């Protein structure tokens, strides 16, 4: 039975296929793993061997990243002899993109044949037991924009991507989380590894003290401005997902505090923890 085009679809299948076909025609790599590198974490892609680099501006229908710390290129190659593709720089709702555009690369990955998505981000620590420099394995998330109807799945559903009504109780793959924790201990990273709940806010402002206190009460351990839309799109396409948050600052929850969140602190912390995080992901990819 012929599939009728969905004119109101947020991410049209044919557009994503055009992008995927363009990439497949220009590389022999057929990655099963994709990695989205968050703020300051683009160095993960620098470890890729036999790499082929595609600047976003050269890829048909691809958006471009405008945030400092995001290089804005797609890197195909091998990590520990495993073929993968890395996004050096993601897209955010606060940049003015729709969530459909933010998640466009994820749907392209699906059409490339990717089966596992690793998402990384820089996040503020809400959990009082977390320290700056900790790495949190995401076990669940709170999708605040989704509560307000902001979702990459809004619009006409195309069954070639996934089902209309998506289950999210298993958003972050249990086996991948266990594998990440095991690998972290093997690589001597266990002392700063955590497991918790990530909350997405739209940004680009950092949270007020009242908002941080509210998010703590909701059960969030870390807060950031990304990741959740890509996870939703990946699960819609049937990919397994692993999420890693680098805690780059502690959320301010006390009105007597003089601390202020800022992007420079975020980038500085990622530089300090880069080598450990790269080692963790590199050895993890080998086991997937």
- At 114-165, the pLDDT tens digits run 999 999 998 999 999 999 889 999 999 999 999 999 999 999 999 999 999 9
Q: Would residue 6 count as lying in a domain?
A: no
Distance CA 245, CA 180 (A): 12
Concerning whether 8 is annotated as a catalytic residue, the answer is: no
151, exposed or middle or buried, with CB in 10 Å at 0-12, 13-18, 19+?
buried
What pLDDT, on the 0 to 100 scale, is given for residue 258? 74
Q: Would residue 156 count as lying in a domain?
A: yes
Residue whose C-alpha is closest to residue 203's, from 62, 63, 92: 92
Q: Would residue 4 count as lying in a domain?
A: no
Judged against a pLDDT cut of 80, whether residue 35 lies above it is answered with: yes
Q: pLDDT-based confidence at 270, cuts 50/70/90?
A: low
What CATH number is given to the structural domain containing 275? 3.40.50.1580
Q: Would residue 1 count as lying in a domain?
A: no
Q: Which of 263, 265, 268, 283 is catalytic?
A: 263
What pLDDT, on the 0 to 100 scale, is given for residue 1? 44
**Mean pLDDT of all residues in the chain?**
90
Q: Would residue 8 count as lying in a domain?
A: no
Q: Which of 9, 13, 18, 94 is catalytic?
A: 94
Residue with tokens 């969905």: 6
What pLDDT, on the 0 to 100 scale, is given for residue 259? 74
Distance CA 49, CA 26 (A): 17
Q: Which of 65, 121, 151, 226 is catalytic?
A: 226
Distance CA 3, CA 5 (A): 6
What pLDDT, on the 0 to 100 scale, is given for residue 269? 67
Q: Would residue 247 count as lying in a domain?
A: yes
Q: pLDDT-based confidence at 23, cuts 50/70/90?
A: very high
Q: Would residue 5 count as lying in a domain?
A: no
Backbone angles phi, psi at 35, to 5 degrees: -125, 125
What pLDDT, on the 0 to 100 scale, is given for residue 42? 75
Concerning whether 98 is annotated as a catalytic residue, the answer is: no
Q: Would residue 3 count as lying in a domain?
A: no
| pLDDT tens-digit map of 177-186 | 999 999 999 9
Number of domains forming the structure of the chain: 1
| pLDDT tens-digit map of 188-213 | 888 899 999 999 999 899 999 999 99
Distance CA 136, CA 122 (A): 10
Contact 225, 201 (CB under 8 A): yes
Interior angle at CA 75, CA 196 and CA 281, nearest 5: 30
Residue whose C-alpha is closest to residue 199's, from 263, 143, 249, 241: 143
pTM of the model: 0.91
Q: Which of 122, 233, 239, 251 is catalytic?
A: 122
List 77's β-bridge partners, or say none. Answer: 84
Concerning whether 263 is annotated as a catalytic residue, the answer is: yes
Concerning whether 39 is annotated as a catalytic residue, the answer is: yes
What pLDDT, on the 0 to 100 scale, is given for residue 101? 94
Q: Which of 20, 34, 39, 245 is catalytic?
A: 39
Concerning whether 70 is annotated as a catalytic residue, the answer is: yes
Domain that holds residue 132: 13-287
| pLDDT tens-digit map of 51-100 | 999 999 999 999 876 665 556 899 999 998 899 999 998 899 999 999 99
Concerning whether 249 is annotated as a catalytic residue, the answer is: yes
């Amino acid at each position: 039975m012929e599939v009728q085009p969905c004119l109101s679809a947020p991410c049209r299948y044919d557009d994503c296929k055009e992008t995927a076909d363009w990439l497949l025609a220009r590389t022999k790599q057929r990655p099963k793993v994709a990695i989205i590198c968050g703020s300051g974490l683009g160095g993960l892609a620098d470890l890729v061997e036999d790499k082929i680099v595609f600047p976003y501006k050269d890829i048909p229908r691809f958006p471009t990243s405008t945030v400092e710390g995001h290089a804005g290129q797609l890197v195909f190659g091998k990590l520990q002899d495993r073929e993968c593709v890395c996004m050096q720089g993601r897209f955010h709702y606060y940049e003015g993109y729709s969530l459909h555009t933010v998640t466009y690369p994820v749907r392209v990955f699906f059409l490339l044949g990717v089966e596992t998505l690793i998402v990384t981000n820089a996040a503020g620590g809400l959990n009082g037991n977390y320290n700056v420099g900790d790495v949190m394995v995401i076990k669940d998330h709170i999708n605040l924009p989704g509560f307000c109807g902001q979702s990459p799945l809004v619009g006409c559903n195309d069954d070639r991507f996934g089902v209309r009504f998506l289950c999210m109780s298993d958003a972050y793959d249990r086996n991948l989380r266990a594998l990440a924790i095991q690998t972290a201990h093997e690589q001597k990273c266990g002392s700063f590894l955590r497991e918790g709940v990530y909350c997405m806010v739209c940004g680009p402002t950092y949270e007020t003290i009242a908002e941080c206190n509210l998010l703590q009460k909701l059960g969030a351990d870390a807060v950031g401005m990304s990741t959740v839309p890509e996870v939703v799109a990946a699960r819609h396409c049937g990919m397994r997902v692993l999420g890693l948050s680098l805690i780059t600052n502690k959320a301010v929850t006390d009105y007597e505090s003089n601390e202020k969140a800022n992007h420079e602190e975020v980038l500085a912390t990622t530089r300090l923890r880069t080598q450990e995080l790269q080692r963790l992901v590199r050895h993890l990819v080998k086991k997937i």
